[in-house]
Amino acid sequence: MKNNGCKKGFTLIELLVVVLIIGILAAIALPQYQKAVAKARGAELISMVRAIDTAQQAYFLANNTWANNFDLLDVTFDSLTRLSAAEAESYSVDDAYFKNQESILAINRSGLSLAMFGTGPYAYAGFGMWAHPEVNPTWQDRTGFEGNTLYCMEFESVPSGFCEKLQHGTYVRTRDGIKYYKV
């Protein structure tokens, strides 16, 4: 049997159906991938905040004051870029690092340890821990936040759902334009 000049191959309709199926799968997979990446980056930020917080506690116990400079703490962030004092002040913190413009780590003399996303779908969301009431009993009365507690934060003006949806945080309050969730 001879094939009368017919070439084997795919028709345009078959190719369009395959492209359509790939597009649908990509549309389903991409948001899930972005969430997984955000959760992984969030876990990294939590780890950094806890490391800074532990170093802050040790510094306070030794000096009876909170460190306002990373050089005073026993932590290093070699892969991060240090901000100048003026840049850190523009973020209302005493000292800060950037990680490829993706996230910021910061501290200030009130015992705040902070890590936030700088860019991406969850920009202006992150985590913070504040002074510990067992070390500074009047702190909770002044701020309304519990010490030794990890809070997820996101700017009220840029709601991303990061704290509530991805971190399963419980809403606590809004203060100075920032929503706080206990995680």
pLDDT digits (tens, 9 = 90+) for 52-102: 888 888 898 899 888 888 889 888 887 788 888 888 888 788 888 888 777
**What is the predicted pLDDT for the residue at 137?**
54
Report the C-alpha gap between 36 and 103 in whole angstroms: 17
Question: Is 80 exceeded by the pLDDT of residue 33?
Answer: yes
The pTM of this model reads 0.75
Give pLDDT, residue 19: 95
* Tens-place pLDDT, residues 118-171: 777 888 899 988 766 555 555 455 566 777 788 999 988 887 888 998 899 999
C-alpha distances out from residue 146 to 32, 129, 149, 150, 152, Å: 33, 9, 6, 9, 13
Amino acid at position 4, single letter: N
> Do β-strands 95-99 and 170-175 pair in parallel, antiparallel, or remain unpaired?
unpaired
- Answer whether residue 5 shows pLDDT above 80: no
User: Do the Cβ atoms of 60 and 135 come closer than 8 Å?
Assistant: yes
Q: What pLDDT does 35 receive?
A: 84
